[in-house]
Amino acid sequence: MKRRSTTLTREERDVLVLGGMHLNDKQLSNTEIAQNLGVSVSRVKTIVRQVCVRLKAHNRNEAIRFALQRGEISLDEIFSLGELAEQCSSLGPDMLRRIAHLVRQWLEDGHLPENDEQIICPIGREDTMLTKAERDVLILVGCGLTNREIADRLYVSVSTVRTFLCRACAKLGAVRRADAVLLAMKRKEIIVLDIFTPNELIDVLATLGAESVEQIAQLLDQKLGQEPIPTGT
């Protein structure tokens, strides 16, 4: 699918794509991004700052989220379809097929239909190991908020936010905030609709194209049939 905007340079997009990738459930560091691109770490940091200013983001993760929503980068540049199937499993295959239909409408009409908030509903959440407070903090981390912003949103202190984050990371076996969000999504502790509104999710999935969304639905069909999802798909 074509990009919907060209605000970012190729170098800036490359940094964001690598920044969103995970290796062994760990988000790539600035050093690893620099090694992949053959540039210095300071150059990566400079690019991240430039992107944050351009997209009006506070940090790298928020910049990645904004870039996805605006079509600057696509989900399949960061995740395989198998990985996306794991992350979208809370929607179920039928709902993903509905999204694929909406994406086709977007391609035909040039915009997504309005008022689809009631169309997309997640399947039931499984039992969780995280407390509600830990889950709430991770959801806001997934939305790209800083610890200070999370504290303000939840009406708690920054130290309390750090405590909940540390506890969540320990339970999930994560070292960094972003890694904890990915692991929490894999284990159904949080779901994709905790982080994106339904219309935001449709907008992000639209960058994949209808056929890819349908492939994700097929992979979920395999999962429900107890067949392993090929994560390298």
pLDDT single digits (tens) 112-123: 555 554 455 555
What would the mean pLDDT of 33-44 be, rounded to a whole number? Answer: 96
DSSP code per residue over 80-133 = -HHHHHHHTTTT-HHHHHHHHHHHHHHHHHSSPPS--TTT--PPPPPP-SS-HH
Phi, psi angles (nearest 5°) of residue 58 = -90, -20
Q: Which residue has the higher pLDDT, 104 or 148?
A: 148
The architecture in CATH of the region 10-73 reads: Orthogonal Bundle (1.10)
What would the mean pLDDT of 77-85 be, rounded to a whole number? Answer: 88
- Whole-structure pTM value: 0.76
Cα 163 to the center of its chain, rounded Å:
23
**Residue where the block lists tokens 């979920």:** 220
CATH of domain 132-190: 1.10.10.10
Domain ranges of the chain: 10-73, 82-123+193-224, 132-190
